Amino acid sequence: MLRTLAQLRAARPTWPLVVVDDGTGSAFTDVFDAATALGAEVLTHARNRGKGVALKTGFEHVARTRPGMAVVCADADGQHAPRDIIAVADRLGADPLERRLVLGTRGLDGPIPLRSRLGNDLTRWLFTAATHLRLSDTQTGLRGIPPGLLSWATRVPGDRYDYELQMLLRAARAGIGLDTVPIDTIYLDHNSSSHFRPVVDSLRVYVPLVLFLASSLATFAVDTVALLLLEALTGDLLLSVVGARLTSAGINFAVNRRVVFDPRRRCRTGPALGRYAALAAVLLVLNYLTLRALTQVGLDLLPAKLLTELGLVSLSFAIQRRIVFAAPSQRAHKVMPPRQQVG
């Protein structure tokens, strides 16, 4: 950490440097005294509160003491070379008004500890399944955040390692762009300095993703079972599609609003329900027309249903994220104008 601070101070003398001591205790007082001597502000937690809380402490401090200044956050374990930190800052400073996060993404080639490789591969796959966005490195700690999104970043849930993935998930839902900058892949001594606990912290990371996917899977299951039952009872495809969709839509609206897209109740229920109903009506028509076309060419109802839902799920997700459950400020894409500074 001290080497990184010294190199950044030499390369960018005017940059404010902020270090968060997340409850390391008196044994490391000399390390943080040295950080202060290098010109860094040291913020101290009396006890360990987790990486997510430490990042939010830094964001809140910058927003309060240097309004209008952007933030580049980097890990303290030597994984991020100063030249890469500077590259992320330069990309962020090129257009600080833009509603986006800048991510320093590793190529993840060469000698990588097995737990890190497996964790990155699994998280990347789940992230793509949940958001329909491809991101090569979902676990990077090198991130640039414009001043207009610092307040948003402090409201993202998560106290420990789960926070960084939650940030990406919430950004995807809120229509915040994810801009990437290639960086070196560095693991010092097989990443032995990492405090990541493989079992406990992996659960913290993956549970939000599983919950994120569970809403769509549960709704699909309800809709499919209801469709098959109603079609068997009535023999009327249109009536069956409408009945199944009404049943599953009610469940989907409640779960998506309370768990997936709007747990903080930022959008009003009435307008959100109206937008959802309009979306459901459009999807209902598309669902019926697609199902009828597929069954008329000889495809059985169940595989026709699977193909139809796979084709419509991305459209439904994108509209719910950007319009149905977005707060008014998100739908209008309003960002407070910051000063063009990076820190």
pLDDT at 243: 84
* Residue-wise pLDDT tens digits, 129-153: 667 777 878 888 899 999 999 999 9
221: pLDDT strictly greater than 90: no
* Residue-wise pLDDT tens digits, 289-335: 888 888 888 888 778 878 887 777 667 766 776 677 765 554 444 33
Where does the pLDDT of residue 257 fall: very low under 50, low under 70, confident under 90, or very high at 90 and above?
low
Domains of the chain: 2-196 (3.90.550.10), 208-331 (no CATH)
pLDDT at 210: 64
pLDDT at 340: 36
* Residue-wise pLDDT tens digits, 67-109: 999 999 998 888 889 999 999 999 998 776 678 999 998 875 5
3-class SS string, the chain: CHHHHHHHHHHCCCCCEEEEEECCCHHHHHHHHHHHHCCEEEEEECCCCCHHHHHHHHHHHHHHHCCCEEEEECCCCCCCCHHHHHHHHHHHHHCCCCCEEEEEEECCCCCCCHHHHHHHHHHHHHHHHHHCCCCCCCCCCCEEECHHHHHHHHHCCCCCCHHHHHHHHHHHHHCCEEEEEEECCCCHHHHCCCCCCCCHHHHHHHHHHHHHHHHHHHHHHHHHHHHHHHHHHHCCHHHHHHHHHHHHHHHHHHHHHHHHHCCCCCCCHHHHHHHHHHHHHHHHHHHHHHHHHHHHCCCCHHHHHHHHHHHHHHHHHHHHHHHHCCCHHHHHCCCCCCCCEEC
